[in-house]
A and B are shown apart, each in its own frame.
Chain A
Amino acid sequence: MAASPFASRSPSVAVTSPNTLRLKASGGTASKPTPMPDQELTEQLNAEVRQKYVKDKKLGEGTYAVVYLGHLRDDPSSFVAIKKIKVNAEYKDGLTMDAIREVKYLQELSHPNVIALHDVFSSKDQNLSLVLEFLPRGDLEMLIKDGDIQYGAADIKAWMGMLARGVWFCHENFVLHRDIKPNNLLVASDGEVKLADFGLARSFADPYLNMTHQVITRWYRPPELLYGARQYSGAVDVWSMGMVFAELLLRVPFVAGNTDLDQTSKICEAFGTPTEDNWPGVTQLPNYIPTDPAHRVPLQGRDFFLRQFPTAGPVGADLLMSMCALDPRKRSTAVQVLRHNWWTMDPQPTRNEDLPRKTGTKKMGEDLSRRGGEIDDGPFKNAARQLDFGAMK
């Protein structure tokens, strides 16, 4: 479980760390552009990792990080995404929490439905760069919002299966993701959905250790967090999963509140008002808002889910209902979700290669947004096309 980020998960097979270690320990050699011999071993190792990759072009920029497309120096066909964490004014003396969390938990998790962290290195100005698996086919949010893409129950089952496996694997290793939403579910080139952005992740199940309730994007936040619970479990991720499931079925967010309060009332409206009867102890939660007994909505039953989500079918609606139980103790765990008989029922989940995919509009959009005469391509862009080895005979 405790694998180092420098270890064997790298996409390159050629680079073996034991050799390089010995090499470096003996003072470095002239065969590679090696750093100064008077550097510390850690610095040497860092430089070693940094030189393994080549940065090609910028893929996107956010407030927190810049993402570049890169590839292994030895193998131009192996793409990686290099996420360079920006130096944050707030954390002058160290790293942002997000970066630490992301590295800490991603390096421990290795699963087909969790984005792989290949390497971590720092650049000269102490910036942290994460070398992540490159997932070129966008995210689930893009697929949900694109009206040109049509998908059916089998596709939803395939996506949900991959999501549930990823979440289950995190929980099995006692990591809460705490930010599950469609745009954190990236799609790999083979159609596999992967859980990404572990900036809010943390390990769980410590008693007497308070956790923050200010996590998870509001529309996907479970009621216990809205009520300010400081001790919670994997059930929070399962609620988010249920919301993603509902959004996949409806193609719009199911409960989309404008504020936290609005979100709470919307959840009450949709699923029923939490009371001491259906959720023992709920009134003792720190931010519990007493509700007007006159406006109490009874807990929604199976009929409601079947009516709201006819495309899921009776068994799918049952699964969704179990994921959206108000009381986190009554909510299914990730294992229970995967053990539901919806997975084995017809329709069978679509195979990855047949899943609907976003056509190259994003790439096209980038091309179109480029200014005239501007070249933003990396040095090796289109190299394969220009060098026509077929003509050499």
Chain B
Amino acid sequence: MASKNGISRRDEDEVCPVCKSSRYLNPNMRFLINPECYHKMCESCVDRIFSSGPSSCPVAGCRKTLRKNRFRAQTFEDIGVEREVDIRRRVMHILNRREEEFDSKRAYDDFLEQREEMIANLVCRTDVARTEAQLQRYATENMQSIRANQAIEEEEASSFQARMTLEQEEARLRRQLAREQIENERREIQAGREDMLSRLASGSSADAAAIAREGHKVLLKKSSARRSEEDRIRQKQAALRGSELKRSGLSASADMASSSGLIKGLRKIKTPEPEKPYDPFMGYVPEKRDYYTLQQSYPSVYLDRVKNDTRVAAGGYDLREYYARTMVEAFAGLGCFVEDEVAQRSVA
């Protein structure tokens, strides 16, 4: 922004660049800007042009379409600064990873640098399309973690506020207490002195010195007792404060889905393995046969009597079980290598 000196600028500012009305004619004139193009105009111009819906910027050469609801008062005098702050706010809102989410300090620093670079790109209008696309993609991919981090930030801000007010309140109470203590002390000393004087007045002159010494001792004792009592209270309060702080301490940052691409060095978040479907056999294979297939029936004269005995069948006896067993026993030793097993056992 080319500028002359401050005073002339302010003078210039007094005139609305659109309707040319000046502050001289309208002392209540407010200037508004729209973050779309940051062209400044007065409130009445905004009302006049944009009340009936979106319209293009009245500044010559600017073809941006503006909406009334986006107009707002300017925070910074320099429109460039205003724009940069806006961009920064928007980018930080999206790229809101926190330090505890990163593997290392280095990774976090890289992230910060990357963020700054993107902000700079947008501010200086270099590579805007690519940067915007990156931002957009990151935002859609990490919706959840962005939300979570925003929530944490809000909570932090509010808890900071709460802490501030709490501390102020505590300080006020402390001051009040101190004032009361001083007052009490003063009053006690006064009372002690009066007591001593009255006793001196009523007593004999011989033990005046003794009475004076005793009075002094009582005063000392009282003050030391008071001091230890105060210490006790103070310790208690400190302990209370500590526990309160601990309770209101940040809850551990929530687990977030890992991002793809843009940000590197994010701490790996362990998601619990999805539960496997229940296997009723728990890994064992039922009816596993490596060397043979079991037939429904084997011809054998020896077994014919059993086969035809209804009583045996009624008891639930099943020849197929006998077949299965015979076959298992016939092939049982195959595939077993005793030497290997012994070797394995000695290794174990």
Binding site for B on A (CB under 8 A): 1, 7-8, 13, 16, 18, 111-112, 161, 164-165, 168-169, 172, 174, 204-208, 222, 224, 229-236, 279-282, 284-285, 327-329, 331, 335, 338-340, 343-344, 348-349
Contact = CB atoms under 8 A, between A and B. Distances in A.
Contacts of B316: 222, 224, 229, 231-233, 235-236, 327-329, 331
B315 A328 contact: yes
A204 B346 CA distance: 35
B321 A234 contact: yes
B346 A18 contact: yes
Given A208-B306, A229-B316, A348-B278, 18 more contacts: A8-B345, A18-B345, A165-B281, A168-B286, A204-B321, A205-B318, A205-B324, A207-B322, A229-B317, A234-B321, A281-B313, A282-B314, A284-B310, A284-B311, A285-B311, A327-B314, A329-B316, A343-B278
Given A1-B332, A279-B314, A329-B313, A205 B345 contact: no
A285 B303 contact: no
Contact of A230 (B277, B282, B315, B319): B315
A1 B314 CA distance: 31
Contacts of A327: 314, 316
A11 B328 CA distance: 29
A134 B311 CA distance: 42
8 contacts: A161-B278, A165-B282, A205-B321, A207-B317, A222-B316, A233-B318, A280-B313, A281-B311
Interface residues of B, number: 33
Contact of A339 (B280, B314, B345): B280
Contacts of A222: 316
B317 A231 contact: yes
B23 interface: no
B133 interface: no
A118 to B, nearest CB: 15
Given A205-B322, A207-B322, A234-B321, A229 B314 contact: yes
Nearest to B287: A335
Contacts of A233: 316-318, 321
A344 B278 contact: yes
B201 to A, nearest CB: 66
B334 interface: no
Given A161-B278, A174-B321, A234-B321, A207 B306 contact: yes
B225 interface: no
A338 B317 contact: no
B280 A164 contact: yes
B207 interface: no
A205 to B, nearest CB: 4
A274 to B, nearest CB: 9
A329 B310 CA distance: 12
**What 9 pairs between A and B have smallest CB-CB spacing?**
A328-B316, A229-B315, A281-B314, A281-B310, A231-B317, A338-B280, A205-B321, A343-B280, A235-B316
Nearest to B326: A205
Contact of B278 (A232, A281, A349): A349
A116 B311 CA distance: 37
B325 interface: yes
Interface string B274-291: 010110111010110000
Interface string B284-312: 10110000000000000011011000111
B27 to A, nearest CB: 74
B318 A329 contact: yes
Interface string B98-130: 000000000000000000000000000000000
Contact of B281 (A204, A338, A349): A338
B342 interface: yes
Nearest to A228: B315
A349 B315 CA distance: 34
Contacts of B322: 205-207
A161 B284 CA distance: 13
